[in-house]
Structure 1
């Protein structure tokens, strides 16, 4: 009789908004034969999309608390599942944030901001459009973070939504409208950078609508954890990032 071992992956998620994307993704991965458990631990702070509050939310003490909440799951990797709470530290501070999290969790660690960079590089994408839910000053920091990693943002929109809780109430139709209205024809991919937004259930619809890869915060966060755990997952329901190869031609051109 053969036995399989479920690989646990850990996610530190701020407050509550779209954390139900994780059990949905876990179900889809298991349907594809990927035996993983996606364990979500919550840390708390104000959910304002404002720079001082975001710096506090991603502070070493808060992330260490999140790591301790995941310890019993014995995760193979831990991800800080917050885009704005990681890129707000900038290209110099964000690596230190991840290094401190790795030390606290004693396993490989990363954050959603680095997940976006690594996912784009995996697909060979270097020119993107960004459909952000944040206020403009916060969204511009994401553009700068991507630029420091060699990813050119051809167009960026900021919906100006002040809180993560409000982002979490966006319907599937509203998410699709946000994507469609803020794509650029010359962009190789569209990035939607907020883990507070429900996107896992509409990834196939978004990519069919735009005809290109769409990278969303919870999607790339989960992919990054799998990558760190050396797990290759093929599940087209999770978008081109989870295909064996992209279906949109040579995205490196």
Structure 2
């Protein structure tokens, strides 16, 4: 087994990359995770959930259409967390997937259809959030932003953006969505 990455080994920040892992127990549970990461590593730390909230705020998202891979219980926890964090869930559409294999089998066409359903159900949303770090969203975000003229935040891309920003970098990367132009 490899030793944990430490500051002495060159790590600059720590990020927990799993959205539901950090939102499921609410803001208090996420705060406990952050404290453990910071205390254990002695480095700046974030969670995918914190990065998503920061990304939604950065693009001006307040009334959010949500598209997830999750089951109802996880969707309820996500809706509570977003509401407690000052966001309004305008609509939520879900795939109700239960295994990692099912998540990894999701195609770009599946993601486009899910996002379209979520946005159709929330015609006055100011942003789309695709939640589940295992969904491969990088390729569909520019297409969805062009199709719907709204910013699109996904767990995976927001998580990477937030982690990089913990190290002092801007997070800018052209061509992968509005978030990465800020």
Q: With the length of structure 2 as denominator, give the TM-score of the two structures.
A: 0.91
**Structure 1 equivalent of residue 26 of structure 2:** 90
Q: Would the aligned equivalents of 2:162 and 2:171 in 1 still touch at CA under 8 Å?
A: no
Structure 1 position 133, deviation (Å):
0.9
**Match for residue 157 of structure 1 among 69, 90, 93:** 93
Structure 1 position 140, deviation (Å):
1.1
C-alpha separation in 2, matches of 1:93 and 1:234:
30
Q: With the length of structure 1 as denominator, give the TM-score of the two structures.
A: 0.67
**Match for residue 122 of structure 1 among 58, 61, 81:** 58
C-alpha separation in 2, matches of 1:95 and 1:206:
32
**Match for residue 160 of structure 2 among 222, 225, 238:** 222
Root mean square deviation, CA, Å: 1.8
C-alpha separation in 2, matches of 1:143 and 1:236:
30
1:213 aligns with 2:148: no
Please list, as runs of the form range in 1=range in 2, the aligned pairs for 1:160-179 lying within 5 A after superposition. 160-179=96-115
Q: Would the aligned equivalents of 1:203 and 1:237 in 2 still touch at CA under 8 Å?
A: no
C-alpha separation in 2, matches of 1:153 and 1:121:
14
C-alpha separation in 2, matches of 1:227 and 1:165:
30
C-alpha separation in 1, matches of 2:42 and 2:101:
31
Question: Match of 1:238, SS?
Answer: coil
C-alpha separation in 2, matches of 1:195 and 1:69:
22
Question: Match of 1:128, SS?
Answer: strand
After TM superposition, the structure 1 stretch with the greater mean CA deviation from structure 2, 140-149 or 227-236, is 227-236
C-alpha separation in 1, matches of 2:84 and 2:74:
16
**Structure 1 equivalent of residue 116 of structure 2:** 180
Structure 1 position 73, deviation (Å):
5.4
**Match for residue 202 of structure 1 among 137, 140, 160:** 140
Q: Would the aligned equivalents of 1:161 and 1:167 in 2 still touch at CA under 8 Å?
A: yes
C-alpha separation in 2, matches of 1:180 and 1:73:
44
Q: Would the aligned equivalents of 2:93 and 2:114 in 1 still touch at CA under 8 Å?
A: no
**Structure 2 equivalent of residue 107 of structure 1:** 43
What is the number of residues matched between the two proteins? Answer: 179
Which residues of structure 2 form unaligned runs of 5+?
A: none
Q: Deviations over 1:151-202 (max 9, x none)?
A: 1111112221111221111111111111111112211111011011111122
**Match for residue 232 of structure 1 among 165, 170, 177:** 170
Structure 1 position 148, deviation (Å):
1.0
Please list, as runs of the form range in 1=range in 2, the aligned pairs for 1:24-43 lying within 5 A after superposition. none
C-alpha separation in 2, matches of 1:238 and 1:69:
31
Q: Deviations over 1:94-142 (max 9, x none)?
A: 1111110112222111111111111111122211011011001111101
C-alpha separation in 2, matches of 1:145 and 1:73:
35
